[in-house]
Amino acid sequence: MVLLKSISTQVLSQQPHLLDSAHILDVRTSAEWAYVGVPIAPRVHFVEWIVFPDYTINQKFFEQLASLSLPFDEAIFIICRSGVRSREAGQAMAGMGYVNLTNISDGFEGNLNTERQRGQIDGWKNSGLPWRQS
């Protein structure tokens, strides 16, 4: 297992210049992109790791990723809802030869609070980083 770098949205919000030249790969589902929102940054890409609505691993992930022609050595920040799927996708990408991968550890919506709600304590949406909703 490859150990990926990890960064929180709190750190990213304090150092937004890190996103200026990096790629952001959003691996959430198409439903999440449409209904929850998406990050805004210079180079954001979208490839589902888990396919909606059946929630199985996207069998075309590697093919779809390859079609983006992301350089294997450039910085790629990987994001999902809460950091789990993005870590899994990053592990798979490392196996493909990508060498500068960073998991966004608290994801787009963040961790659950005591009421089991996301988006209240951390995550991209809660950090002040730019995002939009369709």
10-48: pLDDT as tens digits = 999 999 999 999 999 999 999 999 999 999 999 999 999
- Residue 6: DSSP 8-state: E
Cis-peptide, bond into residue 53, ω within 30° of zero: yes
73-85: pLDDT as tens digits = 999 999 999 999 9
Alpha helix stretches (DSSP H) within 50-123: 61-67, 84-96
3-state class (DSSP) for residue 19 = helix
Token readout for 88 is: 């899994």
Token readout for 3 is: 């150990």
Phi and psi at residue 79, in whole multiples of 5°?
Answer: -135, 145
pLDDT at res. 66 = 97
pLDDT at res. 134 = 79
Q: What is the largest CA-CA distance in the chain?
A: 41
Residue 38 pairs with which residues in a beta bridge? 132
- Residue 118: which domain range? 5-132
115-133: pLDDT as tens digits = 988 888 899 999 999 999 9
- Give pTM, 2 decimals: 0.94
The total number of structural domains in the chain stands at 1
Confidence at 87, pLDDT banded by 50, 70, 90: very high
Which CATH number does the domain housing residue 74 bear?
3.40.250.10
pLDDT at res. 89 = 97
Confidence at 96, pLDDT banded by 50, 70, 90: very high
